[in-house]
Amino acid sequence: MRAVLQRVTEASCVVEGKITGQIESGFLVLLGIEDADSNEDVDWLAQKVVNMRVFADENDLMNKALADIGGSILLISQFTLFASTKKGNRPGFTKAAKPDVAIPLYEQMIDKLSSLLGKKVETGIFGADMKISLVNDGPTTIFIDTKNKE
C-alpha cells in the first residue's frame, strides 16, 4: 500500500461536475493498493497518516498532527501509484490491485481513518475520473510505502 500525503490548506474532489469531497486544513491522501496488501497494511498506514507530525506548532516547527490542529482528510484512490516505468514510455499497472481486492481495503481505510481521527473522512469515488484541486501547504508532501516500514 502506498500513500502520498500532501499537507493542504484546502482540497476538493469533483466527479461529473459534483463535489464528492472537500476539506480545509489537513491532508490530501492519494492511496494506491496492490494485491499483496492486507488489513495489517491498512491499520499501520492509517496510524501513520493520523499521527504524522508535519503541522506547525507555536514555534513554527513541524510538531503537530492532524488531531492537534483539528485537521481533516480527503482520501483519493489512485492505482497509478503502482505504475511500472522500467520498460518503454507507457507505464504498466500490473502491481495495482483489481477492484475486487482494492475496494474493500479502500473502504476499510476510510473507516479506520475516520475512527482514528474522530470525524468523517472525505473521499473521491473509487475508479471514477476525478478532478482534484488543492492548495499544497509548504509545500509538504510525504510518501509512505507499507512494504518499507523499517
**80: DSSP letter:** G
Distance CA 94, CA 73 (A): 28
pTM of this structure: 0.94
- Is 80 labeled as catalytic in the residue annotation? yes
Domain for residue 136, yes or no?
A: yes
Number of domains in the chain: 1
Domain for residue 95, yes or no?
A: yes
Identified catalytic residue from 20, 80, 85, 123: 80
Q: What is the CATH number of the domain that holds 76?
A: 3.50.80.10
Contact 130, 13 (CB under 8 A): yes
Can you list the alpha helix ranges (DSSP code H) found in 4-128?
39-51, 66-69, 99-117
Domain for residue 71, yes or no?
A: yes
Residue 94: what pLDDT? 82
Domain for residue 150, yes or no?
A: no
Domain for residue 82, yes or no?
A: yes
Residue 115: what pLDDT? 97
The set of cell numbers assigned to 20 is 464528492
Domain for residue 89, yes or no?
A: yes
Q: Which residues of the chain have pLDDT under 50?
A: none
Residue 49: what pLDDT? 98
Residue 110: what pLDDT? 98
Q: Which domain holds residue 122?
A: 2-145
